[in-house]
Structure 1
């Protein structure tokens, strides 16, 4: 199957070690440039402070250098906002305050203001840069080429963009998988933590699904492409992370809108304070100008502006590491206020695949013989029930034979000839003559929420098979956690009432809506919103997409979810673990709690400093420390969410 390629085809221009080393150093320097400038300005301020008594002129030159080094980035941002948007922002306010302090002889205070302001700005930039680096790391995991194997076993290398559904890829040991697909040949372990959150490599064999961007282990695999390019789960993760990073939460938008008005008001009040106290309160000119500068420093909304985005970006990054993919920061706000959690049943609360729960042969019928016959007849079918029966036979090591004259009866079952006898396998309504004993048995099984299948040989019922979609292992624990958090948990399903109530009882869910069409699920979500408040809807199928869009927060199961559900949802659970839902809600509540802490703290500090200034109890050094210190504290408080 392997074909040798000319060596020249794989040759690429290589940089020298020295060039690579220089490039790495430059990238590191560029990444840390804002922090280096901030710390550099702080060091210069310290040197200038000690030189002031003996070398005042040199000290002032150093203070000016500290102003330029620490304030250049923020001054540039402030001037750009003023020129391009005709708005005054907090950056410009701080630069004006620092220059004003220096103008009245407070060089040290002005320089310290610049230093701490630039330091807080560098910390904010680090927070934003982290999410960008996470995205860059993901982008580097994206292979550029893939090896396609044709029907003759000949390999050819193609670009990722050229891959199509149905292509066969060969994945060698240590290579990244180029597209989502199903294993056709081979056995290997695959590191797929970036997709599913699994800490250990997952073993992959015939029929298992693999994802683009994941790392193959020590074995070779032949993979049939199911999703390529922008349709792959990996591509969707990158797209959603970009979307979440760029979309600003509603609270941040409100703060930014207020900031523009607030900054103008502060600047206007400062201009008035430069004159009015002298005439109205008989303050000296020096005291008047001094208090105006202190007011400009302490009233600036730096801490308030920094209260939200560092915390939100930290929470999004933390969630992504756990396999909880937020499409925007807005969902963190909404999750914290959710009152109702609505679940789809099939594929969400349950595994989505029926399993045989009861296998009852008729009197005189051998159990092994019956299972062999049924599995052999169903082996040619792709129906989930047929697959479940075949799976049971395979787990018991039964060898299957191919039936003859197989004929499907639409919506009911199948007929076939097996070992010279005519067999019929299907739903009870497929059969006309059923004894009372069999009828009672079927009714009893269906009352337990199970689907029943009858087997008939030569006109006589010879067995009953019951199947049911089983609850996910973590479902009950997850529901109990949600209830302890004070949330109402409901089930919305298109399944029949008996089955729905049985699964709901096992999961610990009290309120069930059954027999729902997609439009009925939408109606149910609207009713829940009206009666209880904000609703989060969790689903995985195409039929769940309208309800996901209607809910305040739509949550999709990322591993098994349909493309429509994944695109419609606001939040994606990449590894299908229901236990992540309470985690996501706790993360949303914790984020909002930290944001509120930050905002209350910032407002209290600003109000306290302004009051102390008007009482002539606040000095400029303490004003600088109080104002900029509070900004640093709210940023660091937000960064706690990275843990």
Structure 2
């Protein structure tokens, strides 16, 4: 017999440690070089430049050799990128432009300036790689958390198999400190589970019989026996991994525009550089030395490095920031789009509300107390799977009220249910079915005006009392709506529920605009009308019926834990911990990102214009041109990295 309630000290992972093979060491070295290669190259290049500078005057030839070595080490990665781009895409890019400028500086004897240009360019590339790597680590950390094996119970015997072999209905044993290998339901045992990988919650969640658990989450100090509910490829964890892969492939529209303009701009710079080499000696009487020098300075200062680096480091940093807070963007394009949003439309059930009915009022007939009313109702509903029935049974359990199962149970379609025990017939259902006309009419009107569902319990003698239930609003809903209003965004409710119920929930949440009793296609129509009247829209939803609206909105946001598969696939942003406050945070992050991007672009173009004009009017030293140009590139990257905080 396996004790699934045992406690133990937490241990991470299981099984004996294995020695790394030579092949593993090779892969580790390869990964290290991929991650840190540009930074190492920049550092070595800088060291060689320093040694070469110290050698000038005494060891001139040795100094030139050191500068050449710095060129090769610092410029190798960018030269390869530029050549690959030229050969495979027939595109001239900023990498080749920088290398040509460095080669030109060396050709006219300015070895130090050319090497310095290579060094700062390599350093800016290393910073860009850092921002991309940081984003990839935050978005893809889940990949390393994917469980590989599961321990199943077959006829009381433990057997370890690959998670790909798990089938729905299998019983899986999860010991203390192990990862949960499948989405499922706890059938025995109790523990606390760290769900940070799925929901972003920092505090472990108590899990016991009947509660749902997710693949990739970490079990605490108790053992759990879990029934598998979904195969590995259909799990919440697998869905998140697919979303991460999509996110890594997306770039914002503005970055695409910059990339398209880059080739044209580089060609223009090369043409102007050629004209500067040919025309000034003839038209302005410049010396060839002065002409070549100013042409090289122009090539350096006119390069669009800072412009190209203005967007992606900032966007990737924002995506990384969001991922750490439970906001998963499927691509950088949606960070940009969120900055322009004017309207946020919420679904009601499961989005603004918990999606679970709860008992709110018990109104017993005189002579009957609340305990008896709830006990009789729970006994009657104990065999039903209807959401109303579950809510009544749960409330009875919460109050410690014991109840039994009826001897006979029958559903009355469209009216309610009836059951029999102790020779007595009881019914529970719509008030219109069980109440005499006019009885409790004031209470019914009041409860229905509050958006509650009311049922009546009756025995053979007549009505025993009323039970009111309501889908309770999420505790953070009102604060989330207020945050949106402060950002200048209009909140709207779009729901298929009754107008009266929708308005009651909207009042609690602080939403003024309500459109109720909508079919899925009518939600789509409503969103298009809102976009035409107000501007870009966001739709926040969780269900299959929300999928068309999520797709047609400018940006669809799905509830990650509560959301259906279709909603998660259709949405462009996922709230991993179902916290509505994250909707406003996502929009605020989008606005902050594009504020920084605009700062970067204005600064980058301003520096380029200033350096070009100064070079034409009076000329500027090549070292100053290098520092001014590459310094601006470093500054825009560092400005973008602020979004990591």
TM class by shorter chain equals over 0.9
Match for residue 11 of structure 2? none
Measure the CA separation in 2 of the matches of 1:553 and 1:33. Answer: 37
Match for residue 354 of structure 1? 357
Structure 1 stretch displaced more, 389-398 or 111-120: 389-398
Measure the CA separation in 1 of the matches of 2:464 and 2:30. Answer: 78
Measure the CA separation in 2 of the matches of 1:136 and 1:355. Answer: 38
Q: 1:445 to 1:23 in 2, by over 3 A?
A: closer
2:611 matches 1:609:
yes
2:41 matches 1:37:
yes
Match for residue 240 of structure 2? 237
For residues 165-209 of structure 1, what are the alpha-carbon distances to aligned partners after superposition, in whole Å with 9 as ceiling and x for unaligned? 222111011111111111111011111111111111111111211
The answer (yes or no) to whether the contact 2:349–2:471 under 8 Å persists in 1 is yes
For residues 204-246 of structure 1, what are the alpha-carbon distances to aligned partners after superposition, in whole Å with 9 as ceiling and x for unaligned? 1112111111111111001111223221111122221121111
Selected match of 1:458 from 457, 460, 468: 460
Structure 1 position 430, deviation (Å): 2.6
Selected match of 1:530 from 514, 520, 532: 532
The answer (yes or no) to whether the contact 2:356–2:472 under 8 Å persists in 1 is yes
Match for residue 568 of structure 1? 570
Match for residue 184 of structure 2? 181
Matches for 1:217-228 after TM superposition, within 5 Å: 217-228=220-231
The answer (yes or no) to whether the contact 2:185–2:228 under 8 Å persists in 1 is yes
Measure the CA separation in 2 of the matches of 1:302 and 1:618. Answer: 19
TM-score of the pair, normalised by structure 2? 0.95
Unmatched 5+ stretches in structure 2? 4-13
Structure 1 position 73, deviation (Å): 0.8
The answer (yes or no) to whether the contact 1:2–1:155 under 8 Å persists in 2 is no
Structure 1 position 12, deviation (Å): 8.1
Unmatched 5+ stretches in structure 1? 4-9
The answer (yes or no) to whether the contact 2:139–2:323 under 8 Å persists in 1 is no
Structure 1 stretch displaced more, 322-331 or 241-250: 241-250
2:331 matches 1:298:
no
2:56 matches 1:47:
no
Selected match of 1:389 from 392, 404, 407: 392
Q: CA RMSD for the aligned pairs?
A: 1.9
Q: 1:154 to 1:450 in 2, by over 3 A?
A: same
The answer (yes or no) to whether the contact 1:248–1:330 under 8 Å persists in 2 is yes
Measure the CA separation in 2 of the matches of 1:11 and 1:485. Answer: 52
The answer (yes or no) to whether the contact 2:373–2:465 under 8 Å persists in 1 is yes
Partner secondary structure for residue 229 of structure 2: strand
Measure the CA separation in 2 of the matches of 1:209 and 1:109. Answer: 63
2:127 matches 1:123:
yes
The answer (yes or no) to whether the contact 1:2–1:154 under 8 Å persists in 2 is no
Measure the CA separation in 2 of the matches of 1:16 and 1:238. Answer: 27
For residues 125-176 of structure 1, what are the alpha-carbon distances to aligned partners after superposition, in whole Å with 9 as ceiling and x for unaligned? 12222233345532221111111223x2222222111112222111011111
Measure the CA separation in 1 of the matches of 2:633 and 2:190. Answer: 54
For residues 9-29 of structure 1, what are the alpha-carbon distances to aligned partners after superposition, in whole Å with 9 as ceiling and x for unaligned? x99894269998887566545
Measure the CA separation in 2 of the matches of 1:176 and 1:220. Answer: 11
Q: 1:244 to 1:277 in 2, by over 3 A?
A: same
Partner secondary structure for residue 32 of structure 1: helix
Structure 1 stretch displaced more, 332-341 or 412-421: 412-421
Selected match of 2:93 from 89, 93, 100: 89
Match for residue 637 of structure 2? 635
Selected match of 1:283 from 276, 282, 286: 286
Match for residue 628 of structure 2? 626
Measure the CA separation in 2 of the matches of 1:580 and 1:591. Answer: 16
Match for residue 410 of structure 1? 413
Selected match of 2:62 from 54, 58, 61: 58
The answer (yes or no) to whether the contact 1:182–1:225 under 8 Å persists in 2 is yes
For residues 288-309 of structure 1, what are the alpha-carbon distances to aligned partners after superposition, in whole Å with 9 as ceiling and x for unaligned? 1111101100001000001111
Selected match of 1:580 from 554, 579, 582: 582
Match for residue 483 of structure 1? 485
Measure the CA separation in 2 of the matches of 1:270 and 1:77. Answer: 22
Structure 1 position 439, deviation (Å): 3.0
Structure 1 position 600, deviation (Å): 0.8
Match for residue 344 of structure 1? 347
The answer (yes or no) to whether the contact 2:364–2:370 under 8 Å persists in 1 is yes
Q: 1:19 to 1:73 in 2, by over 3 A?
A: closer
Measure the CA separation in 2 of the matches of 1:23 and 1:519. Answer: 52
Structure 1 stretch displaced more, 128-137 or 489-498: 128-137
Measure the CA separation in 2 of the matches of 1:336 and 1:21. Answer: 44
Q: 1:113 to 1:590 in 2, by over 3 A?
A: same
For residues 394-413 of structure 1, what are the alpha-carbon distances to aligned partners after superposition, in whole Å with 9 as ceiling and x for unaligned? 11111111112100112321
Measure the CA separation in 2 of the matches of 1:489 and 1:11. Answer: 52
Matches for 1:144-293 after TM superposition, within 5 Å: 144-150=148-154, 152-293=155-296
Partner secondary structure for residue 467 of structure 1: strand
Match for residue 517 of structure 2? 515
Partner secondary structure for residue 437 of structure 1: coil
Structure 1 position 616, deviation (Å): 2.4
Match for residue 114 of structure 1? 118
Q: 1:268 to 1:133 in 2, by over 3 A?
A: same
